Every structure is written in structure tokens, then in C-alpha cells.
Amino acid sequence: MACTVCPGPPAYLSVMTALLALFSASSAVAADAPAEREQLAGVIRQLELADRLAAQAAHVTPDGRTRYHFDFQRLDTDLKAVRVGIADYLTPQRAQPRDPLRLNGDYAREGSATPTGARNP
């Protein structure tokens, strides 16, 4: 059965592959500080790659007959929040606790394929 939510197999698979690589690399983060910093820097690079792949996939013309569409704008917001959190951890500004950003996590949108305020290339 074909996926009616996905923008297309190549774009969807690229984003999913990048996210899978991200999560597999993040689980291998060691307790050793230099190794941890190196691993987290790699995670940031993978997040940037996932962001670029999602930006490309967002510009694929979706099938107008589908009811739900992937919300790339929400994904972009969450990827940026994770990237900022890792960067803040790697270069702490202060020792006081901070209020972490909450991730949306829900990327299905009902209705129009292009949201208002959609990203421009």
C-alpha cells in the first residue's frame, strides 16, 4: 500500500535515513568528555544534513488528493531546537538551569499541502 502522507519515496527515505543515522550516532555517545564532544559535533552535522534533506523534500509537489501532508515547518523548528540545545551544552553560557524548548513531534497536517508562512528555498 502506497504512503499517502509522504511527499514521495525518495524525499521521505532521505529524511528517514538521516534521522536514523542521527539517533544511532546519539546512542553511541560515550561518557568520556572529548569523545562526547566529538560525537555531539557529529550529531549537529547530521542534524544540519537532515535539515537540508527536509528542505529539499518540502519543495516536492505533493499529490493534491492526499488528506494529510508532512509538516516540514514543524520538523524544521524541532531540528533547530535540538541543534541549539546541543550547541548550548557544548558551549555553556552560564551555570544556571534553563527552561528547555518543548518539541512538537506531530508532523502530520490535514488539508492544504503548503502552509502559510512556508519556508522559501
Q: What is the CA radius of gyration of the chain?
A: 16
What is the CA angle 71-60-24, rounded to 5?
60
Predicted local confidence at residue 30, as pLDDT: 40
**Residue scoring higher pLDDT (107 or 7):** 107
DSSP letter string, 59-82: TS---TT-SEEE-HHHHHHHHHHH
Residues with Cβ within 8 Å of 119's Cβ and at least 6 positions away in sequence, in order, are 55, 58, 72, 73, 76
The answer, yes or no, to whether residue 81 has pLDDT greater than 80, is yes
Please indicate, yes or no, whether the overall pTM of this predicted structure exceeds 0.85.
no
| pLDDT tier, 104 (very low <50, low <70, confident <90, very high otherwise) | confident
CA gap 64, 60 in Å, rounded: 12
Enter the C-alpha cell of residue 77: 523548528
The DSSP secondary-structure symbol of 84 reads H
Predicted local confidence at residue 82, as pLDDT: 92
